[in-house]
Structure 1
Amino acid sequence: VVVGLRISGEEKTEDGLVATEILNLIEHLDSLRADDVDCLDYFSITAGDSSTLQGAVHIVPSMQIDPGYATSLSEQVKKITDKTVMVAGRINQPHEAETAIAEGRTDMAIMTRAMICDPEIANKSSADNVDEIRACIGCNQACIGHFQQGVPISCIQYPESGRELTFLPRPKVRTRRKVLVIGGGPAGLKAAAVAAEQGDDVVLCEKEPRLGGAVLLAQELPYRSEFGGAATNLSAEAARAGVDIRTSAPATQNLVTEVAADHVIIATGAEQRMPALEVADDAFVIGARDYLREGPDLPAGRVLVTDWKGDWIGLGIALRLAEAGRHVSLATAANFAGAAIQQYTRTLLVSQALRSGRIAFINDARLVGVDADTGYLQSTLCEVVHEVSGVAATIVSAAPRSVPVDLDFGAASVTVIGDAVAPRTVEEAVYEGLTAATDLAARDGAVAGERAVSA
């Protein structure tokens, strides 16, 4: 029987054990024997601990933490033991694992989330198809995020994970049809890729010059750049599947006539919506999406950032401003900032905000008005209105609005998915792209695992 020990190489929390103390402990454990047999055969190294929120972020480290960071700890362990040493912690790609092993920092690399995101990662690597690997972006939303909610784990980029019996092997259509996908965000890209893999002839049109939709804005937030990998991966999958991708191509009646689709999938996403506010003529107010897209100069002074749901946008913008030296009041309608963000990710963001010393948190509040130097916030718990004085600019993050499509598709059947149905997250968008394409195959009588009968 092989017996090993998982141990943190450094607890990374206030009053926690540091690396030198843990190395002394490992040396002792390494020397233990019973009946002339070593008690342990290997050490599995991670970082952090679960005694505090600060240390717990390393249990499943998010994209704010550098890839492969824990290999510096496993490297120290390898210097004091001849036993096999493994390491886990943000190892997303085969080359990261191979480099750590080649440099003597570990004997084995543990890649849990990487394999949830792409179960074929080992096969693709061994076949030298590394460009086809769907890289984990460390978002923590559907993997550990689901686990902590008590629901089956999956992946926002690959919702087939955890649902293999429902969606895999990919069904194949009996009769090839023409499918038009309107919108090149996560929902549209997933729908197009899967429909093409199933055997349909797919055209995807996107009005913007770049694919990705709202993901392109999300990656502009601090510590969120890796999120753009979702758009990169989904775009590559659609291209490999043979989708006719047309960017800078808004959906028009002429395009609909040209494609002559048998089925249309509408994935036009959502657009910024400004809530009804009392705004003075001399007040500076801008929507969160416009701020991220345009990056305008703001008037000097305190910035009020409003946040309607406790997600990345409000907290991310506040951090961005604080890191630029601005003082910020972050008013969230949620019970606390980051309430909708997975625990480990939220802990890192909020701790960074606190360390900045420039962000004041206001909870359970919604914006109702702005004048030249004051923001007016109404409690979501009662009718009381609070004033935030000294406000030079206000950035508003409010519930977005689905983008409608007013075109005549003739006899084509139509499915609406993603934020075009109701604004939510990338997870729901990609999942609905998958289900829309799978349902399309089912209409043709195809089921998971069937091969194409005709093309």
Structure 2
Amino acid sequence: MERKYPNLCKPIKIGNVYFRNRMFSAPMGGTDITAECTIGRASTAFYELRAKGGAAAVTVSECMVHPETDGSHAFHLDLKTVGSLSSFTYTADAIRRHGAIASVELSHSGQYAGTYLTDKDKKRGLAQWGPSAGVRPDGLEVKELTEEMIADIVEAYGKCAALAKRAGFEMVMVHGGHGWLINQFLSPYFNKRKDKYGGSLENRVRFAQEVLDSIRKAVGPGFPIEFRMSGSELFEGGYDLEEGIQIAKLLESRIDLLHVSAGTYQRGFAITHPSMFVPHGCNVYLAAEIKKHVNIPVATVGALNDPEMMEEIIASGKADVVEMARALLADHELPNKIMSNRDKDIVKCLRCFTCMAERATTSTRRCTVNPLIGRELDGTEIIPAAKQRKVLVAGGGPGGLEAAITAAKRGHKVILCEKSNELGGILKGERAIPFKHEMYELGVTLAKLAEDAGVEIRLNTTVTKEYVEKENVDALIIAVGSEPIIPQIPGLDGDNVIVVNNYYLEKNKVTDEVVVLGGGLAGCEAAIHLAREGKTVHLVEMREELAIDANIRHRPILLNEIQKCNINVHTGYKGVRVTEEGVICVDVNGEEHLVPGSSVICALGQKPRRDIVDELIDCAPHVAQIGDCVKASTITTAIYQGYHAALDIN
């Protein structure tokens, strides 16, 4: 078979272990860490899913090696805790039985102990230890590790690695980046020691070298050790790429794979985890430059999900391995699809941060575009129905498409009706905003998958009560979505007003000075796009804060982008009239102000199309309503409800 992406699909030997391709599943935290810090069954299934999907290696994250000085609620591996070793053994087995190599990330939070606690107040009762004494940005005291404590931690790394090997893991990753303990020793910003572990670069690298020596002694020769480092800390006071190269050279003799990431988690989340506002692969240059100076395989990471880009990275020698996390949440089958030349079927990550926000908020996982994530124990196989039913899906947005695909895979005869001439629903409008183009692509991909699954698609078809009754279906899934909220504000129906949903159709009408009326997520993202085009943008929001509907990971990045774009923000302003000169607003004191702009973008939210739902609710023996027509919500909700609505048809 001729592979479309031969370099990406080529096996690689690291240490004495063979990996089936160059696509690795980067470390991702588990979904159900038990009270004893063992791996819960849901987490085992979570990691197994990526092995099933074809990744060459799957790394379990994070195993904290020294709980005595690291209070983070993460995985621990020891012999004294009942169920600890067995939970790791079952997880390694679940990964390996699908042909992937099981790896575990060995880590220590250092002065950021408590990071993974959902109850953030609890971290105040923990001891935060680091290379140097000081005070964290959040006011918590950091104590300096003694040399005796350092020696104990070094030994703990070796013990933990030995137990990982005993449990069936065939590789370990040492986390030396992102602001955790090893990175704190490497960094001149964190490390102010005067002894053999501080000062010169050779001294600052010593702790990492001792850790790696401890692990090598424990696991023996040929057992792959992967070291994750930040190629540059990318902030003032941290080490730069030039020093990152020197760190890599001082460590390469002790490791088998150098994993080059970027930034420091606590001082640059959006650098370590590139957002939709920056290019894909924006951190690859760090790995590419370091690779020129070392003689071991190098891995790169950071918002990689495009097969052509990843193939070029390997083919051109920028890196030997590409690692993905969010991309393999969005589509765990991504490696299998690439290996079998089905790259057009890949459901791409939107970089919306739902996955990471959910973990921080509820200690679970969810992915906007993959309804299986965090629910793997509920069953990852779509089981054919006992009897074929005739199913009508009303609405071709993301929820309707997901429902149609899933119902068709179960063997039902599925008809999907869309009132417009194009599938995708609300996603259609995202094609006009470059940093949200993957949301538009989602609609295109789901449409292809629906067609491939055998769904009969009828465009320009409005579903009415009469239409459903004429089709005589067994099941009806109502996915008619939402419509824009357009209040009775004088002038809001004028020619200078564009509803944000229709921006892609009317973008040429937008002038150089724009008022975006509505500071929710959609309005903020529209404002950023327009400002990036060089327009003068005024953003008006009646509440005191912007984007309160954005998740807790995406929102800070969004607000920072608004600031960077020099957008004129007017909070506490309520629009009362639209004129040719702009929007007349009243402030909290009732005083009027003109917010100038010859064009106005109306982004005041969405409301469910309940009138259509009410008409159709009794039109079939089995009726389900999903997504925005129930309550204006998110793509996440629509896809999840669509998937399960199709599973519920008997």
CA distances 1:14-73 after superposition (whole Å, capped 9, x unpaired): 45433222212222333xxxxxxx433332111222343xx3212221233323332221
Paired amino acid for 2:598:
A
**Is 1:201 aligned with 2:413?**
yes
CA distances 1:61-98 after superposition (whole Å, capped 9, x unpaired): 12333233322211211111122311111221444333
Whether the 8 Å CA contact 1:60–1:344 is kept in 2: the answer is no
Partner of 1:307: 518
Paired amino acid for 1:424:
S
Judge which range, 418-427 or 405-414, deviates more.
405-414
* d(CA) in 2 for partners of 1:20, 1:392: 49
Structure ranking higher in helix proportion: 2
Following superposition, the deviation at residue 148 of structure 1 comes to 3.0
Partner of 1:396: 602
* d(CA) in 2 for partners of 1:4, 1:95: 25
Judge which range, 341-350 or 8-17, deviates more.
341-350
Structure 1 residues 428 and 29: CA distance shift in structure 2, 3 A = same
Partner of 1:121: 334
Partner of 1:45: 260
After superposition, where does 1:138-157 map in structure 2 within 5 Å?
Answer: 138-141=351-354, 143-157=355-369
Whether the 8 Å CA contact 1:262–1:411 is kept in 2: the answer is yes
Following superposition, the deviation at residue 273 of structure 1 comes to 2.0
TM-score (norm. length: structure 2): 0.60
Partner of 1:33: none
Whether the 8 Å CA contact 2:476–2:623 is kept in 1: the answer is yes
Following superposition, the deviation at residue 283 of structure 1 comes to 9.2
Judge which range, 74-83 or 336-345, deviates more.
336-345
**Is 1:72 aligned with 2:281?**
no
1:84 to 281, 297, 315: 297
Structure 1 residues 136 and 410: CA distance shift in structure 2, 3 A = closer
Structure 1 residues 172 and 423: CA distance shift in structure 2, 3 A = same
Paired amino acid for 1:149:
T
CA distances 1:238-291 after superposition (whole Å, capped 9, x unpaired): 122211111122224564244211111111111122123244998944432244
Following superposition, the deviation at residue 410 of structure 1 comes to 4.4
Partner of 1:447: none
* d(CA) in 2 for partners of 1:185, 1:15: 48
Partner of 1:175: 387
Helix, strand or coil at the partner of 2:425: coil
**Is 1:11 aligned with 2:226?**
no
Whether the 8 Å CA contact 1:160–1:168 is kept in 2: the answer is yes
Partner of 1:322: 531
Following superposition, the deviation at residue 117 of structure 1 comes to 1.5
**Is 1:22 aligned with 2:230?**
no
Root-mean-square deviation over aligned CA pairs = 2.8
2:546 to 311, 316, 337: 337
1:107 to 305, 312, 320: 320
Structure 1 residues 280 and 130: CA distance shift in structure 2, 3 A = closer
* d(CA) in 2 for partners of 1:335, 1:413: 44
Helix, strand or coil at the partner of 1:415: strand
Structure 2 residue runs of 5 or longer lacking an equivalent are 1-218
Helix, strand or coil at the partner of 1:237: helix
Whether the 8 Å CA contact 2:474–2:621 is kept in 1: the answer is yes
Following superposition, the deviation at residue 202 of structure 1 comes to 0.6
Partner of 2:448: 236
- Ranked by relative contact order (alpha carbons within 8 Å, sequence separation 6 or more), the top structure is 1
Structure 1 residues 389 and 330: CA distance shift in structure 2, 3 A = closer
Following superposition, the deviation at residue 299 of structure 1 comes to 6.0
Whether the 8 Å CA contact 1:69–1:89 is kept in 2: the answer is yes
* d(CA) in 2 for partners of 1:13, 1:233: 38
* d(CA) in 1 for partners of 2:491, 2:370: 43
* d(CA) in 2 for partners of 1:109, 1:220: 30
Judge which range, 113-122 or 280-289, deviates more.
280-289
Structure 1 residues 15 and 332: CA distance shift in structure 2, 3 A = farther
* d(CA) in 1 for partners of 2:461, 2:490: 37
Identity across aligned pairs (percent)? Answer: 29
Following superposition, the deviation at residue 206 of structure 1 comes to 0.5
* d(CA) in 1 for partners of 2:508, 2:620: 46
Whether the 8 Å CA contact 2:575–2:586 is kept in 1: the answer is yes
Following superposition, the deviation at residue 336 of structure 1 comes to 3.5
Larger Rg: 2
Helix, strand or coil at the partner of 2:509: coil
Structure 1 residues 335 and 108: CA distance shift in structure 2, 3 A = farther
Whether the 8 Å CA contact 2:515–2:596 is kept in 1: the answer is no
Following superposition, the deviation at residue 407 of structure 1 comes to 4.9
Whether the 8 Å CA contact 1:140–1:342 is kept in 2: the answer is yes
Helix, strand or coil at the partner of 2:600: strand
* d(CA) in 1 for partners of 2:291, 2:379: 42
Helix, strand or coil at the partner of 2:383: coil
Partner of 1:98: 311
Judge which range, 340-349 or 220-229, deviates more.
340-349
Following superposition, the deviation at residue 352 of structure 1 comes to 4.2
Paired amino acid for 2:281:
G
Whether the 8 Å CA contact 2:469–2:620 is kept in 1: the answer is no
TM-score (norm. length: structure 1): 0.84
Following superposition, the deviation at residue 360 of structure 1 comes to 0.8
Judge which range, 64-73 or 79-88, deviates more.
64-73
Structure 1 residues 378 and 65: CA distance shift in structure 2, 3 A = same
Structure 1 residues 158 and 148: CA distance shift in structure 2, 3 A = same
Q: How many residues align?
A: 425
Structure 1 residues 163 and 386: CA distance shift in structure 2, 3 A = farther
Paired amino acid for 2:531:
A
Whether the 8 Å CA contact 1:304–1:330 is kept in 2: the answer is yes
